[in-house]
Chain A
Amino acid sequence: MIFSHIPVLQVIVPLVAAPLCVIFPFRKFCWTVALAATLTSLWIALTLLITVYAHGPITYELGGWAAPWGIGYRIDILSAYMTVLVSLISSVILVFSPRSIGAEISNARAHLFYTLYLLNLTGLLGIAVTGDAFNLFVFLEISSLSSYALIAMGQDRRALTAAFQYLIMGTIGATFYIIAVGLMYAMTGTLNIADLAQRLPEVMETRTILVALAFLIVGIGLKIALFPFHGWLPNAYTYAPSVVSAFLAATATKVAVYILLRILFSVFGPDAVAAMPIAQPLMILALFAMTIGSAVAIFQDDAKRLLAYSSIAQIGYIILGISFLSVTGLTGGILHLFNHALMKSALFLSLGAVFYRIGSVQISDMAGLGRRMPWTMAAFVVGGMSLVGTPLTVGFISKWYLIRAALESGWWPIAVLVLASSLLAMIYIWRVVEIAYFRGHPEAGADIKEAPLSMLVPIWFLTGANIYFGINTGDTITAARAAATMLLGGPQ
């Protein structure tokens, strides 16, 4: 039955589609294949989510080899949630992509873009479904390598140095990760996450495991771009093609956070994490990320770079939620994982549309765009409001949970910091709004047209999601709370 193989198909579909694009390098064909693959992934992901909801976690043994010899996939509520998020966002971005890619990537290389995109997707989905720590590394490398190449496709020559910078940092991160996995293997003799979780407690006190944990946190921190490991991110997001920025911002860092959650809560377990000095350092880094990221974003002249710094801040929010180690905090963190993906993809895509029309995303070049591209800029404003955390947008819901978590733990200064950082977000979004809506002569730039429908529809799909999930919060909160409870060791 093909249905029982659905967990592996989640990875295989994009993996098989990728080489097709190299063999038949026709732009339209590649796009169709890629879209078909991502939509199939989305369907599989949704099926998995529904199955996990109904029947609990799914385990799947590759080639019928049982763990610890074979590679096991294990899909629980959190993995399912991630696969839905990743495949949903990547589908929407693909719908948006043809014109943007046509403008930003030369015809000769367009098919390579789709190949890399699919490979990246394979890696990200693989990370989410695998139950094996080493296999996770393999998928991590697949997604990382393809993202370096994707960033390097940017028009600006600085994209090359940005990609190289990311390559160095990302490789260090991945190497740290594999060193840690090696150390854990040496102590326990297994790579399977479930087995690791069982055997680690015996050796938890050893120095080797502590060292492994340190390597893990720093290594994954590099991939997450957690302050102060964020150095690669601003350049990478700024110089990558618009759709790549949107894709990476919405999915890659989120999946890295997923790895952190897995390692902390599924491998080490909530009790061990609470006993070890992990939460406080993470919280402090998160607070720095939130405030410094937002503050630096205010001073950017390039709107994409502004969003990049804002991403660093938003990652801080997610990590902050995790560092509370409480159900409310973790729910807030996981919600923000999802919500931030919605906001940032909507925002980066609207900038993609702006770039498509005016060939620049310098804030000063956006004067009067509120009049010329009303729908695009309105989407930007809604996405920005969501970023600030205005009620009736998704941003409000996750911030609500984060602040509640802070107050429940009695850490009111953190609540103040979360709000202060929202204010900073208000300022950097307002800078764009003020220039786009209140500057520029009414007659200036009369030849600038609104973005084409093929761009507006995906943008507004994501923007609408920002509002929809901000009002109709039942499903997302239930899923996030279930995942948080599961991670903290409660019943599923």
Chain B
Amino acid sequence: MNASKTLVYDGSFNGFLTAVFIGFEQKLTHADIQKQGQLQSGLFAETETIFTNIEKAQRVWNGVRNKSNTAIKNIYFAFLSEQNNMEALIYRYIQKLMGSKYKGATDFSDDGVLKINQLAHKVGREKHRMEAFVRFQLTKDDVYFANIEPDFDVLPLISKHFRNRYADQQWIIYDLKRKYGLFYDLNTVEIISLDLTDIHSNSIEKSSAFTEVEYEYQDLWNNYFKSTTIKSRINNKLHVQHVPKRYWKYLSEKKEAV
């Protein structure tokens, strides 16, 4: 029996869950699970390459879900944080959860549990921010287009929200950092990758990719944003706390401030 081993997976969530399955199967107390291509193996550590197996992934997913719905959400969100070493943290979290005699309860007095909770919370906040801060611009091809650069990989989490809301317009949300996007063509949402020559942020220069009225509406919106401010209550600290500066370049109402 191995106490410790390095498991290498393909970077997908299902791949990761498969690795968790293998870890449990081999009764590893510490599983060092790493993404392919980012491998940092210990000097004497044994490595095993994991082949993604949907069935095994599904079994881990179901096992966790039977214990707690919150836990399964936490695990997926924490995974999308892309944080260093989150794999080991999640592995330990699942170990704790499966070993616990309580169903649904979470041990908030445990450091590891708190850590996963905080990670999931951060990703959740970024998801919510993207639902708020996406700014579509209408292209001449009649597609509403938005660029984002989220701190975490939240596209998979926001897809459903935008699909449900903007069911009668074509839209693209493109993650510049991770170089992939979502395209809704009035029927389904597909994952796309684009060769972007221009970065279509909400910069002051107009881009010929967008319609003329697009800039009229941005102008109206910017005006609205100013008119709705109450001057005698200005509170810039609160403003920046809610709309952190790193998002400003994609918000038309803040483009002059960038």
Q: Does A pair with B?
A: no
